[in-house]
Amino acid sequence: MAFNSAPAVASGHVPGLAANADLQAEYQHLRAELERLLTDPVKDFPEIDKLVDQLEKVQLAFKEQHGIKGNNPNE
């Protein structure tokens, strides 16, 4: 029997690799879109703000899957 040393999240559910892959793919897609918007000669700041907010949500979801809340990993 294999020992799983990964930390459990508050719900007790340890997500699989598929969930991490989905979040990573979403994060990469949003980053690429943000980079594209930032290189446009005329900046669409409302859309840039929206993408930054979406990136933050994906980052927080990834951290939550690994049992991390906020910016302090010791919490």
Q: What percent of the chain has pLDDT over 70?
A: 68
> Tokens standing for 17?
């690799």
Residue 8 lies in a domain: no
Helix (H), strand (E) at residue 34: helix 17-39
Domain that holds residue 34: 17-65
CB distance 65 to 9 below 8 Å: yes
Task: Go through 22-60 and write b for each residue having 16 or more CB atoms within 10 A of its CB, e for each that does not.
Answer: ebeebbeebeeebeeeeeeeeeeeeeeeebeebbeebee
Q: What is the pLDDT of residues 4-14, one digit of tens each?
A: 444 444 444 44
Q: How many domains does the chain have?
A: 1
Which residue would you say has higher pLDDT here, 39 or 67? 39
pLDDT at 2: 45
Residue 75 lies in a domain: no
Amino acid symbol at 69: K
Q: What is the pLDDT of residues 33-42, one digit of tens each?
A: 999 999 999 9
Residue 39 lies in a domain: yes
